[in-house]
Amino acid sequence: MPLDEVTDIWDRLFGAQPDPPSWLVVLTALLALAVVVVRGPWRVARNAITIAHEGGHALAALLTGRRLRGVRLHSDTSGLTLSAGRPTGLGMAVTLACGYIAPSLVGLGGAFLLGGNHITLLLWVTVLLLLAMLIMIRNPYGVFSVLVTGAVVFGVSWFGSPQVQAIFAYLAIWFLLIGGVRPVGELQTLRSRGRLPDSDADQLARVTHVPGLLWVGFFGLVSLVALVVGGYLLADPILSAAGITN
């Protein structure tokens, strides 16, 4: 590959894009909120939350020394991550705890990149993470879901104009930040009705002897803090224009 092409790719990847206009930040936030709140769009878009959720379990399992056996994603937006190791202890607890907070933490990481105007870098990192996730998938629907998501992100990153990339990136990160909160509420609703006895929170309760409700509270607190901090980072162009921040 010629040096000038390598330099061009490097500049595209690590170069900073201009600050987005205020309307883009506000519009994408409202669109993401609508997707999370409205039942129909949420049922489809929730697949992205599930990918991040199961990815959180898988990464935690690997980092704590457990043997990852695979990840399954289902068409009803549920998922399952299987790992081998001690059924109790720190590794198991961390693995269980990282699912519900993963979408929010991924969104927070993305907000930091967008705060530095690294839109293209964010999109390419997302593609790499999805490729890594693909290696761990063990069922056809899961492969299809990750491939489609990765193809969309790659298409936007490679063929999209700077404005299209900005709209897509801000919409995706707002969605992860806002959408990371809703499953925690759904979790507690199902638990209160006795319909989810083996939820992550209840498994954590058995492993750690800490009540499941406290674990739900922990999931909710992390998600809300990520939303507030990430939202502040994403709204920085608006705040700067208003003279609130430097």
Which pLDDT does position 239 carry in this prediction?
A: 76
Q: Is residue 6 part of a domain?
A: no
Q: Over 60: is that where the pLDDT of 5 sits?
A: no
Beta bridge partners of 102: none
Q: Provide, rounded to the nearest whole percent, the portion of the chain with pLDDT above 70.
A: 92
Domain range holding 24?
14-239
pLDDT at position 236: 84
Distance CA 25, CA 234 (A): 7
User: What pLDDT, on a 0 to 100 scale, did the predictor assign at position 246?
Assistant: 58
pTM (2 d.p.): 0.93
DSSP string, 74-86: -TTS-EEEEEES-
Question: Considering its fold, how many domains does the chain have in total?
Answer: 1
Instruction: Tell me, yes or no, whether 5 lies in a domain.
Output: no
In a domain, 246, yes or no: no
- What 3-state class would DSSP assign to 69? strand
Average pLDDT, the chain: 92
